[in-house]
Amino acid sequence: MAVELPTWMALGPTLVLGLTGLLLLVLDSIDPNSANRGLLAGTATLGSLAAAGLSVWYLFAGTGADPIRLYQDSLVVDTMSLFFAFVFASVTVLVVVASYDYMRDHSYQAEYYALVMLAATGMTLMAAANSLAVAFVSLELSSLPSFALVAILKKNRGSVEAGLKYLLIGALSSAIFVYGVSLVYGVTGSLLLPEIASGVADTELTGVLGIGVLMMLGGFAYKTASVPFHFWAPEAYEGAPAPISAFLSSASKAAGFALAFRVFTVAFPVEELITGATASVDWVLAAQILAVVTMTLGNFAAATQEEVKRMLAYSSIGHAGYVLIGLAALTGGNDQFVLGASMAHLLVYGFMNTGAFLFIALAEYWSVGRTFEDYNGLATQAPFACVAMTVFMFSLAGLPPFGGFVSKYFLFAAAVGAGFWWLAAVGAINSALSLYYYSRVVKALWIEDPSGEFDIESRPVGLYAALVAAAVVTVLLLPGFGPVWQYATDAAAALVA
């Protein structure tokens, strides 16, 4: 006989991540000077795996097919929230496993893992937020631990400087976002997304509403590292520990998009933009401009970089532009497939981009330099890791036979199907440009002669395990893209149906 779970258990992934973070703080309070890295990293890994497992279980069981609304509609557990919970938990697993070796000589081990867990908790809440109040609180729950994580290498001037810049820009963007929320609330009289949609349909204050919507869009642009709130990303990613750079550029970016997808499609539905009284509040046009500018600036800036980590930072900005196509092409009548393609790309991107930054972490572990030239000939000493990095680079560029190829193909094809062929064309051109700087990494690893001696004395198990896992999933996502596409389109259908 099947046991029916209470409705609050639908928040299982969020609860597991949050409780794991609190457990790590308890362990730290019992033994503040503990050097038991295995216990701390193992606890964080088990919590993340449990959250990912619950997400998969709920998806397979059809939990999100009939949305579960909690706390007077302020939270909703549907296919989209569970889909993204799996993305966040999976990236967290890779980051935590890699951090076991990377953070071996650093202080604040328990605090580090607890902050990662709490940030992931905020991300899962962002995906389930059905109220602008919950959206803001969950966004801050995700952001505040991230500020500390970027600056956690307290003796590293670059890390502390990056954390300070990230904090200042984050405070500015949060103020812009919450002011936009206040304007929307003033016009519609509600913070719940479905009620906002009703208020939008009846309002005549389109000017105030438009300013509020644009300010909220600015807040999301910060969280997703989109232009013009992108300039914190290269600084933060370069100064942060490399596993945290992976965490921010993959999971945090996906969380920002998950929240933006729900807020704009539910609170400001596209049919109102076309036929309603609020046709002047055209956030889709703003998303189109952001998509083109973000992908173009990100790719051109990445092509001019000489440091690999900084190149990946600008590359992640370019990918934010690709994902924005999911919002930019919504009025073309192909809404479910466009939005679903963006979600599917975020899942694939989560593995391939995290893996790329974890290779940087491995290079930093070995004290390899930062520039392309420093990577020359590294494949002679670490061929296995360099094969994995080659997989990530070609997948990010969108080449077969890797997951990035099929996710980009579906994204651009969905944009063409919606009538926005020019968006797909801009994306394809930028993707072709990205092949230049991604291939520079591959060339340095495999073709160029070493510019110096490599001091590689160990093969860190944690970093290698995370790297291999990310590479294997990136490859398997090409033949296994069917289930990803199915759940992504189901998630999109819950928003735009």
Q: Is 454 helix (H, G, I), strand (E, B) or coil?
A: coil
Whether residue 26 lies inside any domain: the answer is no
Q: CB-hemisphere CA count at 13 Å for 475?
A: 10
Cα–Cα dist 268/188, whole Å: 11
Quote the number of domains for the chain.
1
Whether residue 46 lies inside any domain: the answer is no
Average pLDDT over residues 150-173: 88
Percent of the chain with pLDDT over 70: 95
44 phi/psi in degrees, rounded to 5: -65, -40
Confidence of residue 201 (pLDDT cuts 50, 70, 90): confident
pLDDT at 497: 67
Distance of CA 180 to CAs 107, 136, 209, 462, Å?
Answer: 39, 11, 9, 43
Give the domain range for residue 354: 285-497
Whether residue 32 lies inside any domain: the answer is no
Confidence of residue 29 (pLDDT cuts 50, 70, 90): confident
pLDDT at 319: 94
Whether residue 383 lies inside any domain: the answer is yes
Distance of CA 454 to CAs 214, 240, 374, Å?
Answer: 50, 23, 9
Percent of the chain with pLDDT over 90: 60
Residue 197 makes CB contacts below 8 A (sequence gap 6+) with 266, 267, 268, 269, 272
Residue 65 makes CB contacts below 8 A (sequence gap 6+) with 79, 490
pLDDT at 63: 85
pLDDT at 1: 32
Tell me if 232 sits within 8 A of 169, measured CB to CB. Answer: yes
Whether residue 325 lies inside any domain: the answer is yes
Cα–Cα dist 87/73, whole Å: 24
pLDDT at 340: 93
Cα–Cα dist 261/254, whole Å: 10
pLDDT of residue 205 exceeding 70, the answer is no
pTM, whole model, 2 decimals? 0.93
Whether residue 6 lies inside any domain: the answer is no
Whether residue 492 lies inside any domain: the answer is yes
Residue 263 makes CB contacts below 8 A (sequence gap 6+) with 129, 132, 135, 193, 216, 220
Kindly state the tokens that stand for 347: 């899942």
Which residue intervals of 156-252 are DSSP H helices? 157-188, 193-202, 206-223, 232-239, 242-247
Chain segment 219-255, per-residue pLDDT in tens: 899 889 888 888 888 889 988 999 999 999 999 999 9
Whether residue 452 lies inside any domain: the answer is yes
For residue 214, the tally of other CB atoms under 10 A from its CB is 15
